[in-house]
Structure 1
Amino acid sequence: MSHEGIRFVTEEQARREEAAHKELPREATEPLKVRVQKTEGTGMEIDWKDGHKSRWTFAWLRNACPCATCHEEREKAGREPGEPKPQATSLLPMYQAPPRPDSVAPTGKYAISFHWNDGHTSGIYSWDYLRRHCVCEECTAQRTS
């Protein structure tokens, strides 16, 4: 008997997936102000219409790319969005420039996209995705409780 297509999840995974699909209030996923600190190279900040503030580093954003390729690679490796790939241990690691966007553009009224300095351009970061992956202490605590 084949079990293809059947996926077994832990209770914790099921709870996280359920929370990820819960609809957020509109004010929670509509930005009031978006600041991308491209020149400074520090990251992006969003003030949401519900009064919440979120901040991400460019490294976190690049490691959380929501495109299908990056998402599948993270899932296979068991990494969460924003979690970096493990680096190979070698005597002389190759230098890799820190992630920075070469350009940033709005995608309709629902998202933002980055053209990264490593050549990657296919991720569309929806406001909903960003709010669900807010890395502030309050949001992180809510996801882990």
Structure 2
Amino acid sequence: MSHEGIRIVSAERARREDAEHEEMPTSSVSPKKVRVKKTDGTGVEIEWHDGHKSVWNFVWLRNACPCATCHEDREKTGRLPGEARAKDQTLLKMYEAPARPLEVTPVGKYALRFKWNDGHESGIYSWEYLRRVCRCDICMTKQKLEDGA
């Protein structure tokens, strides 16, 4: 018997992964209005058909990139979507420009794709993904309660 593909995860992580696969109502993942504030450099705002409003800044969105490479990197380092990668400790710190999109394009009627100033552009931010990673007080409180904090 092969054990390939079997992995052991904590109960918290299993609950989080199960929640990621729960189907959400259509009104929760259908945007009514999408504002990408590229010129302002501030971020993305979405008003959903169920009346909810979500807001993210560009740095957070870049650190939450849903592409396979970024997802695997976050898993290896134990980071959640939106958490920055730890910087190497060096004597002289190099300036790093904050993440901002050079281009933002719709992907069909279900997602956005960003071409970031660091050259990365493979993440497709689906409406469902964006709703699941909402950073508003209501969603953050709900997430803390579900995580048992």
TM-score of the aligned structures, taking structure 1 as reference length: 0.96
Measured in 2, the distance between the counterparts of 1:47 and 1:69 equals 29
Segments of structure 1 that go 5 or more residues without pairing to the other structure are none
- Residue 23 of structure 1 is matched in structure 2 by 23
DSSP 3-state at the match of 2:33: strand
- Residue 68 of structure 1 is matched in structure 2 by 68
Aligned residues: 145
Segments of structure 2 that go 5 or more residues without pairing to the other structure are none
Measured in 2, the distance between the counterparts of 1:110 and 1:2 equals 38
Measured in 2, the distance between the counterparts of 1:70 and 1:9 equals 19
TM-score of the aligned structures, taking structure 2 as reference length: 0.93
- Residue 9 of structure 2 is matched in structure 1 by 9
CA contact 1:16–1:143 (8 Å) conserved in 2? no
**Runs of 4 or more consecutive aligned structure 1 residues displaced over 6 Å after TM superposition:** none
Question: What is the percent sequence identity of the aligned residues?
Answer: 63
* 1:135 corresponds to 2:135: yes
Measured in 2, the distance between the counterparts of 1:137 and 1:15 equals 21
Cα deviation code 1:18-69 (max 9, x no counterpart): 1111111000000000001111111100000000000001000000001111
CA contact 1:55–1:136 (8 Å) conserved in 2? yes
* 1:115 corresponds to 2:121: no
Q: Shift of the alpha carbon at 1:9? A: 1.3
DSSP 3-state at the match of 2:129: helix
